[in-house]
Amino acid sequence: MKKIFSLFLICMLAFSTLSNMIVSAESRSTGTLTIHKFEQSKDLKTTTEGNGKEGQTVPEGAKPLEGVTFEIKRIESFEKISNDGTVIKEKAKPVKDAAMTKVTNTEGEAVFTNLPLGRYEVKAIKGPEHIELDMTTFIVDIPMTSTNGKELNYDVHIYPKNETKRGSVEFVKKGEGGKVLKDAEFHLFKKNKDGTSTQVKTPSSLVTGEDGKIRVDSLEYGDYYYFIEHKAPTDYLTSKEERPFSIKESGKVVKLDDIKNYKEPTITKSINNGSKVAGINKETDYTYDIKTLLPEDIQSYKKYVVTDILDDRLEIEGQPIVMVDGKKVEDGSVKVVVEGQKVTATIEDFSKINGKELHLQITAQIKGDTQAGIEIPNVASLDFTNKDDVSSEKDGKPSNEVVVTPTVGNIKIEKVDGKDKTLKLEGAKFQLQDKKGNVIKVNGKEMNDITDANGIITWNEIPYGEYQIVETEAPKYKDKDGAVEHYQKLRDPIDITIDEKHQKIELQVENNKSGWIIPATGGMGTILFTVTGLLLMMTAALIFFRKKPVKNS
C-alpha cells in the first residue's frame, strides 16, 4: 500500500512539472521583430509570400539596404493565449505605447527585441535618397499565427521591399544653324564617390537618329551622370564637354539642353582661284588660293595655322595676303610669315575673327630654268586646336592637291614648193612673235630660225599664249636659165594659239616661184589679187571690142 501511494505522488509531481512547461511554452510575455530590408529593381518580383519566418527567399539581384529607419508602435495587447495556440482576439485590449525606432544595418536588418505581445503598426519613416521609400503602414502581430492556425511564432521576420528610384534622360543633338544631327554616338558615365567614373551599360548603343535625339530610361537614382561624345557626325568635331545631370525622382524625364556640335574646319586649295590643274608659263605670275571654312566657335579656338610649303622649282613673289570673307586682314589678327619656301598664316587674335572663310593668297612663279612638261604638285595644311583640345591630325589637316605644269607648246613649220609639195624648201627664215610684234625668247634664245634641208623649223617649250609666225626671208631657187631667184615671201603673219587643247602646232607653208610679194596661201590677199587680175582682163577685152575701124564715106 505504501508503494502504491509513493508511485501516485511521483506521477502527480511529473504532471505538475509538465503542466508548468506547457504553460511556459505557450505564454511567453515578449517576442522579437526582425525587419530585413532589401533594395531591388522594379522588375524584380518576390517569388514567395511572407510567412514570418527567417530565411525567406528574396529576388535575385536584391541588395541589403542600410540606413532605413523603421518605427513600430503597439496598438493592442494580447491578454490570453488559448491552449491550442491561437490568439483569443476578443480579449485584445487597445493600448497607446510609445513608438520605437531602429535603423537597418549593413545587412539591411533592424531588430526589435523584448517586445510585449500585441499588435504593432510598422512603417518606414526615413531612408536613403536613392530609393523610392514605401512609407505605407502595415500590421504585424507578436506572436504571429502560422498559416495553418496552430502554431505561434514569437520571433517574427518580415521582408518589406523598396524599389530604387529610377528616371530617364533625353537630349537633342544639334549642329551649326540649329540643324539636328544624326549618327552622333555617346557614352554614358556615372561618377563614383572616390572620383572615378564607371561607364553605364545600356541595352543598345547611344546613337542619335533622324530627329537628333537620345533617350535613356530606367537610370538609377544618383548624381554626376554625364554624357561624353564618342563619335561625331560627318563633317563635325566631337565635343568633350561633360553634360552632368541627376536622377532624383522616379518616373521623371530629365531634359538636358541641346548638345551642340561645331563643324570641323575645312581647307581647300586652287590655282588662280579656281583650277586644280593648270599649265603655267614660266616666269609668269599665278596664285595659290588656300581657303578654310571657319567654324562658328572660331573665337574660342586655341590654335589655327595655315601652312604651305612650295616646291623648290617655284618662287614666291611679293608678300602673301590674308582675307576674311573677301576683305583683306590688316588689323594684326592674322600673322603671315615667309621662311624660304614655307608660308604660314597664324591667327593671333581670335576675338577679331568674325567671318566664315579665311583666304590665304600666295603669288608665285615657275622658275625659268624649270623643265617644261613636268608636273609640280602642291598641298597645303591646316593645324588647329579648339576649346575642347580637339586637334587636327599630327601633321595638320591636308588640303586637296593642286598641280601646275610648266607649259609645253611645240611648233613645227614645214616649208614646201607650192606646185610640188614633195620639194622641201631650205633657207626660209621665220620669227615667232607676240601680237605686238616682239620676238619671243625661250630660255634666253630668240625664236628666229631658218628651215633646214628638210624644210623644217621646230620650236619647243613655247609658253601658252597667242602668237604670230612671220616669214622674214623667202627661200631661193634657180630658174631654167640657172639664175638664182627668191620664192614669194608671205605677206601676212600666221596667227596661232597655244593652250591646253593646242599644245602641238604643225604647219605646212607653201611658197610659189614669183617675184611678187604675196600673202599666205588662202589669205584675203590672194583673193584680192585674183579679183583684180580678172577685172583688168575684162576691162581690156571691153575696150578691144568697142574699138571698131571707121569707114570713109
Q: Which residue has the higher pLDDT, 100 or 545?
A: 100
pLDDT value, residue 106: 94
> Does this model's pTM top 0.85?
no
| All residues at 6 or more sequence positions from 546 whose CB lies less than 8 Å from its CB, including other chains | none
User: Quick check: 248 pLDDT over 90?
Assistant: no
* Owner of C-alpha cell 599665278: 286
Q: If we measure between CA atoms, which residue out of 295, 359, 292 comes closest to residue 322?
A: 359
Task: Give the Cα separation of 109 and 139 in Å (integer).
Answer: 18
Grid coordinates representing 270 are 586652287
Output the CA–CA distances (angstroms, integers) from residue 11 to 4, 8, 24, 411, 427, in the order listed.
11, 5, 20, 147, 164
Range from 75-79, 291-295, 373-377 carrying the lowest mean pLDDT: 75-79
CA distance 57 to 59: 7
Least confident range of 10-24, 90-104, 536-550: 10-24
User: Does residue 398 contact residue 383 with C-beta atoms inside 8 Å?
Assistant: no
CB atoms within 10 A of CB 231: 13
Q: Confidence band (pLDDT; 50, 70, 90) for 20? A: very low
pLDDT tens column, 385-413:
999 999 998 789 999 999 999 988 999 99
Show the cell assigned to 384.
588647329
pLDDT, residue 132, reads 79
Contact residues for 456 (Cβ-Cβ < 8 A; gap 6+): 412, 413, 414, 415, 424
Instruction: Measure the CA–CA gap between 226 and 527, rounded to whole angstroms.
Output: 90
Which of 2-11, 240-249, 382-391, 475-484 is predicted least confidently? 2-11
Q: What would the grid cell of residue 386 be?
A: 579648339
Confidence at residue 524, expressed as pLDDT on a 0 to 100 scale: 44
CA 526 from centre of chain = 69
Range 143-169 burial, b when 16+ CB lie within 10 A, else e: bbeeeeeeebbebbbbbbbbbbbbbeb
Checking 149-152 for CB contacts under 8 A at 24+ apart, the result is: 149/86, 150/84, 150/85, 150/86, 151/85, 152/26, 152/81, 152/85, 152/87
Burial class (CB in 10 A: 0-12, 13-18, 19+), 114: exposed
User: How many angstroms separate the CA atoms of 481 and 475, rounded?
Assistant: 18
- Does the N-terminal peptide bond of residue 160 adopt cis geometry, omega within 30 degrees of 0? no
Q: For 80-109, what is the HEC assignment?
A: CECCCCCECHHHCEECCCCCEEEECCCCCE
Residue tagged 604638285 (cell numbers):
377
> From CA 104, how far away is CA 123, in angstroms rounded?
13
Q: Report the sign of the C-alpha dihedral through residues 484, 485, 490, 491, in that order.
A: positive
**What does 217-241 look like in DSSP terms, one character per residue?**
EEEESEEEEEEEEEEPPTTB-----
* pLDDT for res 18: 40
pLDDT tens digits, 310-319: 999 999 999 9
Distance CA 338, CA 269 (A): 18
**Which tens digits make up the pLDDT trace of 434-479?**
999 999 998 889 999 999 999 999 999 899 999 999 999 999 998 8
Q: Which domains does the chain have, with CATH numbers?
A: 24-164 (2.60.40.10), 166-260 (2.60.40.10), 266-405 (2.60.40.740), 409-522 (2.60.40.10)
Q: pLDDT category, 86, cuts 50, 70, 90?
A: low
Q: What's the mean pLDDT in 16-43?
A: 66
Q: Can you tell me the distance from the alpha carbon of 523 to that of 212, in angstroms, rounded to the nearest whole number?
A: 72
Number of C-beta neighbours around residue 324 at 10 A: 20
